[in-house]
Each structure stands twice: as structure tokens, then as C-alpha cells.
Amino acid sequence: MDLDALRHGNFSQLGEAITDWEQMTKKLAALEKDARNNLKAKADKARWAGVNAQVSREFIDKTAQEFADAHTQADSITKILKDTRGELVGYRAQLNETLERDPYKYCTVIDTGHGTFTVSGNPRPDWASDPSGKTSAISQKVVDDLRNEVQRILAKATESDDTAAKALKLLVDQAKYGFSGAHYESRDEVAAAVADADRMARILAKNPHDVTDTELASLNSTLAKYKNDPLFAEEFATQAGPKQTLAFWAGIADPYPGTYDPDRAKQAKQLQKNLGTTIGLATLSDSDKMQSWEKQMIRLGPDQLGINDAGNPTGYAVMSNLMRFGDYDDQFLNDYGDKLLAYDKKMNGQGINAWVNINNDGDLNYWDSKNDRGRDPVAGFLEALGHNPDASTQFFAQPDGSGATVNKDSEVNDHLKYLTGERVWVSDTSTIGGKDGYVAGRDSLGHALEAATTGFAYDATADQVKAGGDHRTSATAAVMEQVAYLYGGKDGPKMLHDQPELADSLGKMAGAYIDDIDYNLSGVGEYEKDSGTFPAKYAGRANFTQEGAINFLSVLGQDENSHRGVTAAQHLYTLSALDAYPPTSDANIEHAHDALTAGAQARGILDNSRVQQAEVTYKEDADEANKSLGRSADWLKLGVGTTVGIGIGSIPLPGSTAAAVVIAPIAADTAGEALNTFIGHQIDKGVDDREADPAEESQLTSSQFYKKGENQLGLAYHTYIKDSPKAAQVGNDQNWGDAIKGAYLGIGSHENDYRGRAPFKD
């Protein structure tokens, strides 16, 4: 800052601008409140379907968020401007007070431009020693002291001005269109974040082998501290640069032989997460600098980094392991993934996986590293999609021009076809402690598809799912249709058996669409008049066709994990339908009958598949077959503690982490008597009788397995009619009960569609 600019500075116009911004912030706060409490609240409560549910609600949600972001940005700008003006006025006062203070007032300070100035001493009257008016020269020490004091004040003023300008530019550039949601309480807060980002970037600029444990700990703690700060993230990423970021992580993660340190490895594990999260946040910026950064990172993908660490990996190998964590820009992930798969096809075109081999000794993944060393970059990229649902839905989108449902291979996304059927997947486990034959990449593919079809991160917690609202759209439904087409087709059984790591994900995906599966299974819209039993609760409805639903369930029933997930969801959905249609009217009874019939058909298909597959798998070993069926029946224990929210239920699966959930739609908006009573009490009663002897806990015969399923329907039926005004009528309707039982046992029009189907022989 120039001397005269501060000394004679007139900050009245800046003060007027601050007043304008304060008024604007208040007005935007009112608009934000109105958009949230009026516009969005009414849209959330509206029972829209079709285009209104899909387009209008999404538009309203985005509009309300823009008002919120506009207020946030205006508030941040106001506070930064206000703080900066206050500081500059203070520095102006300090400067003028210094220049007028004895003995400095006898010096001449001249502005020479570009932040420079000169100081010279003038003769000073020596009134105290000589009243006659003689003068004495100003000492060089006084001149030097004044120069230092003026320089200090100018430096502080310059820092205040520069950091404010940088903060405002970073803030405004965050969003090319619309507004940034980044919020700051003061200029000092922004300045500290930017300074810390620059300091951490300087650590990344070093040779990773020269970085001390103290520096590594500081890097981790600082990245964790600013994990939600977008300005810090952008400044850090752009200052560090794409290539140096990759080289640094490779050197920390897998230094050349002989330098491994267990304590440092603990820091490295946290750095992988912190670095990936920070980079992801940085990609959300629309600034020109970050757009350039992203393009550079993608260009680095196929190239080796030219380093001794981690076997001199490619950019893809390193970046894909960092992006396992964090919320990334959707377009960046899709651009990166398109290039990665194109390169992957070229690398693996001869029926091999060129990433995982004895020549690649790199270890770039510290999370479940025994089963996934991180050598296959496609696995890490798919984990990124699993945490970024919108990007995943876009990556696996149905090709343009597809029909109402998927009925031919040309209507399946090329990425999906390649990853599920064409790509060569190999195990990337460690020789010590890894699961034999386990392919982490296929598990990651399942995670990506869960996110693409449900609209939630695959490891979202039950609370996050409950608070997240409706995420299913026509786009997510279109991905689900493709998955059902592939795994319900003629090659579906072999695909499932060859890809066991996907089974639990397929069960969760089917569970998320159990309402649409039942809708299609019932023949409504295809063969029968729509009775309104299965209303579309989401913006997008998946159209599987009746045959497609039968085929898909037949395949899912064969595997323990997929059977467990979809069966649990089916049970919750059927019970919630009884809440939605209490037996208080003839119309409700018909709806309940349709829902229970569809649920019984689904259970019959699933259980029939499960029993036949157990017999095929274990052949003469009846004990093992029975244990397998017992494990399949463990879903019965899931009910207690089930979280039921508006439109969505989250079911923790046995054998999974606490975060793993089936996102099951429910027919009723609130949990009623049938659902609460049955889930909270009756399920435990239904299974307690087989737990008297723990050694026999899983010893179920096939007939007992069927009986358990039939009993659950019976319990649901009796719960439905208990103490209801129509109890006598419903209870005496023998045909009604027989229809439910017959649907479950496979007696009826669909029997030949799934009993004894050839796929079971695979």
C-alpha cells in the first residue's frame, strides 16, 4: 500500500458500501426465511407425482438453496468489508499520529510510489537548551526508527488490504453461477485460513522423505481443522499443485524400501483421508484456477510420476486412492472416470488386469489395505462414486434415447456393461491377512451402484438417510432398471455367482426399489387395472415389467446376502402397507390384500430360489444347506430398533457395519400399530423358539424355512385384523387368507415363471 493512499485515505465510500451490504444482507435473510419456510416447506409437503415431483420440487429446492447461499455470501462479504475498513481506519490513525509525534514530526516522509517512501531529518528547534532559537539536527537513529515504524504500519495495512481482496475474490469465484455457501465471521478468519493453506502447501512442496513427523502431524491436524472450509481447500490445492500432491502422497504412503515406519504409517493413513477430503472440497470451486487444476490432474492420469516411491505409479493410481474420501465435483469425477475407463480398456484389452501384477509393488491405500492394496485405480474411483451419488448416477446413466424400460443391450450404459461383464477383475489382497480370492474392486462397484440407484452414499448412516429426504429420481430409477435387466437376464445367475462381492449391494438396491418391484410384480399397469395400492412415492418409478421383476427376484434369492437384504425390505414395505390401509373400509381391505399378495409372491420367489440354490450349492451336505438357510432367516431379527421415517426406512443388515443400511421405501408416512407391534414384538416371538439350543440355532430344514416365511405372513395378517372395525369380515374371509398363502407357496398364475427355472442349475 502506498504511503499517501493510507495517510490521506477517504474511507467514506467504503463505509457507504458496507451500509448497502448490511441492508442487502437483512433483505436476503428475509428472503431466505421465506424460501425455506414457505416455498420449500410447501413443496416438501406436496404430494406431487410425475413431472411436478421430479422437476418442480428439484427446482424449488435449488432455488431455496440459492437464497440461502446468497444470504450467506452477502453476510460474509459484509463482515470482511467491515473488518477491513475498521482496520484500515485504525492504521491510518496510527500513521498520522506517528508522523505528528515528537521527534518524528521534524522528519520529512515522502511517498515514492509502489509502497516505497523516503525519510529525512529536518533541523529541530532546541527550545529547552537554547531559547534564542538555535536548532539541532535529527539523529540518524530517529530517522531509522521512524522509517521502521512507518514500514510496520504500511505492512500491516497492506496485509489487511491484500488478504481482504484475496478473500473476496476467492469467495466470489467459488461459484461461477449463483452464490457460494462459504461463510466467514471476519476478515481475520479468512486470512488465517488462507495463511494456513499456504503454510501446509509449503510442506507438500518438500521431498516427502524430508518431512518430519512433526510436520506430518501438523499437516494432518490442519487439514482436519479446515475440512469444511472451501477457501482453505482451494488455496491449498492450487498452491500445492496437482503433480506435487500426487508425488507427495506416493512418497508418504509407500516410500522406497527400507524406510517404513509403523508410527509414520498411522499418520499416513489419516493423511490419505484428510488429503482426499480437502482436494474433494477444492474441486467444488468454479474458479478458473481450480478448473485448470482439474484438467491438469486428469492429464496426469496415464503418466508415471517419475519418482522412486510406490513403484513409480501413474497419476490414476495415486489420485484414485485419494478420492476414496470426500465430496467431489460431479463433472470432475465423470470426466476423470471417462478417461480412466478408456485407458483401462486399452491396458486390459488382452484378458488381463495390467494394474495388479508382481511388477507393481505399490501400496497406496491404507484403509482395509489387507484386502485392497490400492493398485487397481478403478477400485478407488468406484469408491469415490459410492460417496458421490449424483456423480455416480450420471456416470451410469441410461443412454439417450432409451425407451420406457430396458429391454435390450443397446439401452445399457457402456460403463455399466464393461464393469459388470467385460472387465477383468482380480484380487488385490495382501499376502498376509487378506481374504483369499476377495476382489475389492467388485465390492466398490457395488458401492457405486448403491449410490447411483438410491441417491445416498453407500455408507450413509440411518440418521443421514432419515434426514436426507427423497433422493430417488427418474435418473436413479433408470440406473436401477439397467441393473435389474443385467442381473435378471439370462446371464444374471452366472454374473451373481461369479461376483459374490456385489450380492449385498444388489440386495440393498432391490430393497430400495421394493415398492416398484411389487408394483411390477402385481401386473398393475401391464396386465391389470391400477387399483392405487402401489402409489409412486418418489419422482422416479422404475419399470421392470412383471417378467423382469420375477427374473430379478429369482436371481437375488439365490445368494444369502442379496436374499437377506431384499427380504428384509420386502417385509418392512408390506407391513407399512397395512398401516397405510387400515381395515376400516372395503377399499382399504382390497389395497391391503393386493399389498400382502404382492409381498407373498415376492417372498415365495425369493425363498424358492434360496432353497433350490442351497441344495445345488451343498448337494449332499444337508447340515450345511440348513445352516445356510438359517443364516438367510436371520433377517427376522432385524426389526427391533428399525428407524422409520417419512417415506424411508433404514434397516441395518447383520454382519455389516453400523453404517450399512437398506434404504427401504415404506407405504405409510408414519409408523402405525401394525408396523410397530409386529416389528417391535412379534418377530422376536417368531424366532425365539429356534434359539433354545444355541448349537441348533441355524438348523432349519427347507420346509421349516418355508414355514417361517409363511408364518410371518400369517402374523402380519392377524396383526392387520386385530381389534379392527372390520375384523369379523376380514377374519371370516377364508379365500382372502388362502390367496395370500397360495401366492407365497407359488400356487397361481406365476408358478411356472419362477419355480424350477434353469438359472438355479448354474
Q: Write the pLDDT tens digit of every residue in 535-569.
A: 887 777 899 999 999 999 999 988 888 888 898 88
283-312 confidence digits (pLDDT tens): 999 888 999 999 999 999 999 999 989 989
pLDDT for position 707? 73
Domain boundary among 363, 381, 399: 381
Render 487-503 in DSSP notation, one character per residue. Answer: HTSTTHHHHHHH-GGGH
Residues 253 and 164 in one domain: no
Angstrom distance (rounded) from CA 150 to CA 99: 8
Residues 372 and 460 in one domain: no
Angstrom distance (rounded) from CA 301 to CA 307: 15
Render 291-352 in DSSP notation, one character per residue. Answer: HHHHHHHHHHTTSB---SGGGS-BHHHHHHHHTTSS---HHHHHHHHHHHHHHHHHHTTTSS
Residue 623 included in any domain: yes
Residues 377 and 492 in one domain: no
Render 578-595 in DSSP notation, one character per residue. Answer: HHHS-TTSHHHHHHHHHH
DSSP, res 635: G
Residues 305 and 373 in one domain: yes
Residue 245 included in any domain: yes
State the pLDDT confidence band at 129, using cuts at 50, 70 and 90: low
Residues 100 and 229 in one domain: no
275, 332, 270: which is closest to 301 by C-alpha? 332
Question: Does the pLDDT at position 381 exceed 90?
Answer: yes
Domain boundary among 143, 173, 203: 173
Render 2-43 in DSSP notation, one character per residue. Answer: -HHHHHT---HHHHHHHHHHHHHHHHHHHHHHHIIIIIIHHH
* Domains held by the chain: number: 3
CA 414 to chain centre: 23
Residue 410 included in any domain: no
632-691 confidence digits (pLDDT tens): 666 555 543 455 554 566 766 655 544 456 777 877 766 566 666 665 544 444 444 444
Residues 152 and 27 in one domain: yes
Residue 431 included in any domain: no
320-368 confidence digits (pLDDT tens): 999 999 999 999 999 999 999 999 999 887 677 889 887 888 899 999 9
Q: CB under 8 Å, gap of 24 or more: what pairs does 116-120 form?
A: 117/3, 117/150, 117/154, 119/143, 119/146, 119/147, 119/150
Residues 73 and 143 in one domain: yes
Residues 215 and 164 in one domain: no
Residues 140 and 206 in one domain: no
pLDDT for position 730? 65
Q: Is 20 left (phi over 0), alpha (psi -120 to 50) or beta?
A: alpha
Residue 593 included in any domain: yes
380, 374, 364: which is closest to 271 by C-alpha? 364
22-51 confidence digits (pLDDT tens): 888 888 888 878 777 777 777 766 666 555
Cell triple for 314? 501413474
**Domain span at 543:** 455-761
State the pLDDT confidence band at 751, using cuts at 50, 70 and 90: very low
State the pLDDT confidence band at 749, using cuts at 50, 70 and 90: very low
pLDDT for position 260? 64
Calculate the average pLDDT of the chain: 82
Residues 168 and 211 in one domain: no
Name residue 314's beta-bridge partners. 304
Residues 167 and 196 in one domain: no
Residues 589 and 667 in one domain: yes
Residue 627 included in any domain: yes
Angstrom distance (rounded) from CA 463 to CA 510: 21
Residue 523 included in any domain: yes
* Least confidently predicted of 67-76, 302-311, 516-525: 67-76
State the pLDDT confidence band at 461, using cuts at 50, 70 and 90: confident
Domain boundary among 381, 405, 440: 381
Residue 77 included in any domain: yes
Sheet of strand 643-644, all strands in order from the earlier edge strand to the far edge: 643-644, 648-652, 661-665
Helix (H, G, I), strand (E, B) or coil at 561: helix
Question: Does the pLDDT at position 743 exceed 80?
Answer: no
Task: Give the mean pLDDT of 451-461.
Answer: 92
